[in-house]
């Protein structure tokens, strides 16, 4: 049975409408895809580096790391093909302590041994900054975030430096007079070993040293005995100085008395040597008032010298 001209026209019209529908559907799908790309992919084409951080560009397709880090601000990137890892370049402090209320929630104390083999547990802290230019090299070496590096490589570097320094000294010296010197030596070793990775060490501190109770008792007893010996020595020196002072004073008084006696003796000698018969007659004549002497009885006249007018 043949198809009429009307039927053929109707079929053509339906076919045309179906083509337009498919075209519109295709446009809708393309628009939705574009909108999806705009909403979800467009933000990933940009990255923002926070102030105080350096951005390490990781090329996922080739597996390499860009040698030049990104500074703070907005930067373009290729979605899915480029990764960004941020490293802080401001001052950071790593606290390694037994207490879980500071540092990390774990026991991060550093355990070392003195030259006698006595165990010491220490709480330490390290303040440092990263050189921004070397952050790509640091990431390429460890392939992890900065916290993992701090509690892994940096912590192990601190432990090794501590053991090398503390292991050369008696425990009593490390806890007492040589603590500051040991701290400085440890910091020098840490700085030298972390510098190739871009770490700039600002300060290292030994916050607390803990030794076994028996060791601490022995150290305290030794310190008390040394203090008592020092007190006795100071008292002896004080008495010696006082005795020497008294002796010097006595010697001075004796010399003064001797000098005075010698001076008086010399004066007497000179006075005696100066009294001659002529001088006596002169003094008598100088004191005579012109009156003749009074004679009593039959004895020799006695010349009475009056006072000089």
Cα 158 to the center of its chain, rounded Å = 16
CB neighbours of 135 closer than 8 A, spacing ≥ 6?
Answer: 54, 56, 69, 87, 89, 198
Q: Which residue has the higher pLDDT, 9 or 283?
A: 283
pLDDT at 189: 97
Q: What is the mean pLDDT of residues 6-34?
A: 67
Cα 110 to the center of its chain, rounded Å = 19
| Prediction pTM value | 0.61
Instruction: Output DSSP code: residue 43.
Output: G
Give tens-digit pLDDT for 126-167: 999 999 999 999 999 999 999 999 999 999 999 999 999 999
Tokens of 245: 């002072």
H or E element in which residue 128 lies: strand 119-130
Confidence of residue 9 (pLDDT cuts 50, 70, 90): very low
Q: What is the mean pLDDT of residues 213-221?
A: 72
pLDDT at 217: 75
Rounded Cα distance, 46 and 28, in Å? 27
Rounded Cα distance, 60 and 138, in Å? 17
Q: Is the pLDDT confidence value at 266 over 80?
A: no
Give tens-digit pLDDT for 45-96: 778 999 999 999 998 877 789 999 999 999 877 777 888 999 999 999 999 9
b (16+ CB within 10 A) / e for 190-204: bbebbeebbbebeeb
CB neighbours of 97 closer than 8 A, spacing ≥ 6?
Answer: 103, 108, 109, 123, 124, 125, 207, 208
């Amino acid at each position: 049975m043949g198809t009429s001209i009307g039927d053929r026209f109707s079929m053509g019209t339906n076919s045309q409408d179906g083509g337009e529908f498919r075209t519109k559907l295709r446009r809708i799908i393309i628009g939705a895809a574009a909108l999806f790309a705009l909403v979800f992919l467009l933000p990933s084409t940009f990255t923002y580096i926070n102030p105080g951080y350096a951005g390490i560009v990781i090329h996922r397709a080739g597996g390499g790391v860009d040698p030049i880090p990104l500074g703070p601000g907005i930067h373009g990137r290729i979605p899915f093909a480029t990764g960004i890892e941020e490293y802080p370049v401001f001052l950071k402090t790593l606290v390694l302590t037994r207490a879980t209320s500071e540092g990390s929630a774990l026991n991060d104390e550093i355990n070392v041994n003195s030259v006698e083999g006595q165990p010491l547990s220490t709480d330490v802290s390290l303040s440092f900054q990263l050189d921004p230019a070397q952050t790509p090299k640091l990431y390429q070496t460890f392939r992890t975030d900065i916290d993992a590096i701090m509690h892994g490589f940096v912590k192990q570097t601190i432990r090794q430096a501590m053991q090398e320094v503390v292991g050369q000294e008696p425990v009593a010296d490390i806890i007492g007079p040589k603590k500051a010197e040991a701290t400085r030596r440890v910091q020098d070793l840490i700085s030298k070993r972390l510098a190739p990775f871009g770490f700039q060490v600002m300060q290292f501190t030994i916050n607390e040293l803990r030794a076994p109770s028996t060791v601490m008792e022995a150290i305290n007893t030794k310190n008390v005995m040394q203090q008592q010996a020092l007190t006795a020595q100071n008292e002896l020196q004080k008495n010696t100085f006082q005795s020497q002072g008294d002796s010097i004073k006595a010697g001075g008084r004796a010399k003064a008395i001797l000098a005075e006696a010698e001076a008086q003796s010399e004066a007497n000698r000179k006075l005696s040597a100066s009294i001659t018969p002529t001088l006596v007659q002169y003094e008598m004549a100088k004191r005579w008032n012109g009156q003749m002497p009074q004679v009593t009885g039959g004895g020799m006249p006695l010349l009475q010298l009056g006072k000089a007018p």
